[in-house]
Amino acid sequence: MAGATLKDVAREANVSIASASRAINGLDNVAEAVKVRVLEAAARLRYVPHGGARSLVTSRTNTIGVLLPDIYGEFFAEIIRGVDVAARARGLHLLVSGSHGNPDEAVRAMRAMGGRVDGLLVMSPFVESHDLAAILPLSLPVVTIASRIGSGQGSISVDNFGGGVTAVKHLLEQGCKRLAHISGPSHNFEAEERKRGFLSAVRQPSPVVFEGDFTEESGYRGAKAFLASGPLPDGIFVANDMMAVGCLLALSEAGVKVPQDVALVGFDDIPIARFTSPPLTTLRVGIFDLGRRGLELLVAALDEGGMQEHEGLVVTPELVLRDSSRHKTG
């Protein structure tokens, strides 16, 4: 009832607990007969090794902590999936903590994970370098994904600025003259970078920017705002696909044709993007790969003993051309 221990298995198999341990762990310095007897005993007793005891003596938890922000939906899921697949391939467990709405919560979560993981994968727009430094044991490798801080043993980030520039250039090439932007929330680092890219590439005196919050609804409101005020833009760069979907709906309700009247470029290439009407031109970041490569970077750091500095990896978003931006008014 209370869970069999290695001692129980050893007794049942008539061997020492040292031999039992070796058999369970598949070491080769065990007689075949002993191995068989131990494994059978273990199965009979439903023996499950106590991970804590093991990690106490090996000083390895084989667990990676994953700290996520309070982002919902596809993006979140894809990152985890990438991390998860890569972790399983290496026999690593994942201790996940998500939904941190503010820096304090995130820091508390990191603290709580500290003693149970070999390394940390942090994806949080909140956590600052000095928070990390204050809270973690010196020896815990940290890799950040798409976060503000670039410290730790490595980082993977997305060139959001470059993505914004690419979007604008593309719209200009399509012949758009009056560009507008629906941005993400201003406290979000990635959102700010995309906006900065937009502003730096746009060739207009004072381009219209509507601040959304990455939800479909705010995209809807953004388009409504454009429709209500002044001349309608003929090209909109929307900071994520979710908002672009809301934007499409508002435009379609207003009888505005996409891309004939207004060309649209989103960001993320969420699965739904190719199924909107018209399909959405967008900037794709391999989200799954972001997670996968983040974990790989962390594992590399662990293998090296943890203290090497790695350069930040920067992933460039790729323009995925679909009908929502085939403008060509010219």
Partner DNA sequence: CTGAAAGCGCTTACAG
Q: Which residues bind DNA (CB under 7 A)?
A: 2-3, 5-7, 15-19, 21-22, 24-25, 28-31, 33-34, 47, 49-50, 53-54, 56-59, 115
Judged by beta carbon, residue 27 or residue 53, the one nearer its own copies is: 53
- Least Å from the CB of residue 21 to DNA: 3
- Least Å from the CB of residue 176 to its own copies: 24
Judged by beta carbon, residue 49 or residue 185, the one nearer DNA is: 49
**Which residues in this chain contact its own copies in the complex, by CB under 8 A?**
1-4, 46-56, 61, 63, 72-74, 76-78, 80-81, 84-85, 88, 91, 93-99, 109, 111-116, 135-140, 215-216, 220, 242, 245-246, 248-249, 252, 271-272, 274-277
State the SS3 of the chain.
Answer: CCCCCHHHHHHHHCCCHHHHHHHHCCCCCCCHHHHHHHHHHHHHHCCCCCHHHHHHHHCCCCEEEEEEECCCCHHHHHHHHHHHHHHHHCCCEEEEEEEECCHHHHHHHHHHHHCCCCEEEECCCCCCHHHHHHHCCCCCCEEEECCCCCCCCEEEEECHHHHHHHHHHHHHHCCCCCEEEEECCCCCHHHHHHHHHHHHHCCCCCCEEEECCCCHHHHHHHHHHHHHCCCCCCEEEECCHHHHHHHHHHHHHCCCCCCCCCEEECCECCHHHHHCCCCCEEEECCHHHHHHHHHHHHHHHHHCCCCCCCCEEEECCEEECCHHHCCCCC
**Cα Rg of the chain, angstroms:** 26
- Least Å from the CB of residue 177 to its own copies: 27
Which residues is 157 bridged to in the sheet? Answer: 314
- Least Å from the CB of residue 138 to its own copies: 6
Judged by beta carbon, residue 8 or residue 74, the one nearer DNA is: 8
Pick one of DNA, its own copies, none as the site partner of residue 220 (Cβ within 5 to 8 A by kind): its own copies
Pick one of its own copies, DNA, none as the site partner of residue 29 (Cβ within 5 to 8 A by kind): DNA
Judged by beta carbon, residue 11 or residue 93, the one nearer its own copies is: 93
- Least Å from the CB of residue 18 to DNA: 3
Judged by beta carbon, residue 47 or residue 198, the one nearer DNA is: 47
Which amino acid, residue 201?
A: A
Judged by beta carbon, residue 51 or residue 230, the one nearer its own copies is: 51
Judged by beta carbon, residue 273 or residue 283, the one nearer its own copies is: 273
Pick one of its own copies, DNA, none as the site partner of residue 61 (Cβ within 5 to 8 A by kind): its own copies
- Least Å from the CB of residue 85 to its own copies: 6
Helix axis angle for 6-13 and 17-24, nearest 10°, is 100
Pick one of its own copies, DNA, none as the site partner of residue 228 (Cβ within 5 to 8 A by kind): none
